Amino acid sequence: MTELRLELKEKIIEQLNLEEFTVADIADDDALFGNGLGLDSIDALELIVMLDKDYGIQLTDPKEGKEIFKSIAVLADYIADNRGK
Amino acid sequence: MEKTHHISSYCHIKDSRVSLNGNTLFISAIAEFSAFIKSASQHLETKYSKFYKMDNLSKMAFLASDVVLNHAKLPSDKENNIAILLSNRASSLDTDRKYQDSISEADNFFPSPSVFVYTLPNICIGEISIKHQLHSENCFFIFDTFDANHLWLHAESLLKSKKAEKVLCGWVDFDENNYEAFIYLVEENGTIAHSPNEIKRLYKS
């Protein structure tokens, strides 16, 4: 699980162009949206694409995304339980 | 008596160099655009996290506009009625190609939302407007070459009809490894007359 959390932090920094962040800046329980990393709605869509492309998970319910993208820890748990790749 | 308008400042970005009113602000040996514009934004202390999420065209238009608008020292306690008129040749072709690449294979069909949002050239105007809180008239023209006459006419029309107090104008063209930005601010105050000939002269300088 620690590896997956690290992998997600690296992917998020790279794919969402968070140039001002390093992996060490993101705590497992930091909020990804709002006051945390400050991600926006386009980032949310990009995360949905990432789940599909890299982990074979297709989100169909937007409400589901709101809960899943709460933090790295929550996202990693969801991926571990649902991944198809 | 009819007001005359002037060009108060202008910025060029090309050949790994950023200049304001003809004076170099930043020059780099880096030829590759992404690395160059990142270094330039850090050197010029842009301090805007959304900058890194923009496509190449928006980064260049944003940085050149930021240089000019910061130099103008706009009042922060009132809304600035600054219209934006930009133009280029390649539209958003550079980003269009990137997006096309992401949807060209049926077995690897993952269109990127963050690339897609930049598949229009006028998105860069939105980025400038968000940063500087501008709720003003704007337009993006596609020309074969830089058209000083058209920009002059449109800017004069906006100023004379009082649709805007100032107009940020220019040319921001990006296509593969070729890039060029020329942004200038037109307002009542300034030393350079706002005329097609002066615009052409500054563009070529």
Whether the CB-CB separation of B63 and B37 falls below 8 Å is answered with yes
pLDDT category of residue B1 using cuts at 50, 70 and 90: low
B143-179 pLDDT, tens digit per residue, is 999 999 999 999 999 999 999 999 999 999 999 889 9
Residue B188 located in a structural domain: yes
For residue range B51-82, list pLDDT tens digits in order: 999 999 999 999 999 999 999 988 877 889 99
Task: Kindly provide the b/e burial profile for residues A15-29, where b requires at least 16 CB atoms within 10 angstroms of the residue's own CB.
Answer: bbbbeebeeeebebe
Which of A20-24, A44-48, A62-66, B186-190 is the least confident region? A62-66
Chain A residues in contact with B49 (beta carbon < 8 A): 18-20, 38
Within-domain flag for B21: yes
| Among B127, B65, B59, residue whose Cα is nearest residue B95 | B59
Hey, what amino acid is at B174?
A: F
* pLDDT bucket at B193, cuts 50 / 70 / 90: very high
Mean pLDDT over B27-36 rounds to: 92
Q: Report the amino acid identity of residue A45.
A: L
Q: A37: pLDDT confidence band, cut at 50, 70 and 90?
A: confident
- Residues contacting B136, CB < 8 A, separation 6+: B80, B81, B82, B83, B84, B129, B164
pLDDT at A19: 84
Task: Choose among B202, B172, B204, B205: nearest CA to B190.
Answer: B202
Whether residue A18 and residue B52 make contact (CB cut-off 8 A), yes or no, is yes
Cβ neighbours of B128 (radius 10 Å): 24
CB nearest B112 (choices: A18, A38, A49): A49
Best residue of B49, B56, B119 to probe chain A, by most A CBs closer than 10 Å? B49
**Mean pLDDT computed over every residue of chain B:** 94
- Which ranges in A1-85 belong to alpha helices (H)? 2-15, 41-55, 62-68, 72-82
Look at residues B137, B115, B40 and name the one whose alpha carbon lies nearest to residue A49. B115
Domain-located, residue B126 = yes
Per-residue model confidence as pLDDT tens digits over A2-28: 899 999 999 999 999 888 889 999 999
Residue B131 in this model has a pLDDT that exceeds 80: yes
Cα B85 from Cα A31, distance rounded (Å): 39
CB B9 within 8 A of CB B20: yes
pLDDT greater than 90 at residue A67 = no
3-class secondary-structure state, position B6: strand
- With CB atoms and an 8 Å threshold, state whether B114 touches A53: no
Q: Judge whether B109 lies within some domain.
A: no
Mean pLDDT throughout B6-31?
96
Mean pLDDT on B176-205: 94
What is the domain range of residue B142? 6-91+121-204
pLDDT at B59: 96
CB contact, 8 Å: A12 with chain B?
A: no
**Integer CA distances (angstroms), B200 to B142, B145, B159, in order:** 17, 12, 20
Assess if residue B160 is contained within a domain: yes
pLDDT, residue B138, reads 96
The answer to whether residue B187 is domain-embedded is yes
Q: What is the CATH number of the domain that holds B142?
A: 3.40.47.10
* Domains contained in chain B, number: 1
- Whether the CB-CB separation of A50 and A56 falls below 8 Å is answered with no
On whether residue B110 sits in a domain, the answer given is no
Does residue B115 lie in a domain region? no
Q: Indicate if ipTM > 0.85.
A: no
SS3 letters for B102-165? HHCCHHHCCCCHHHHCCCCCCHHHHHHHHHHCCCCCEEEEECCCCCHHHHHHHHHHHHHCCCCC
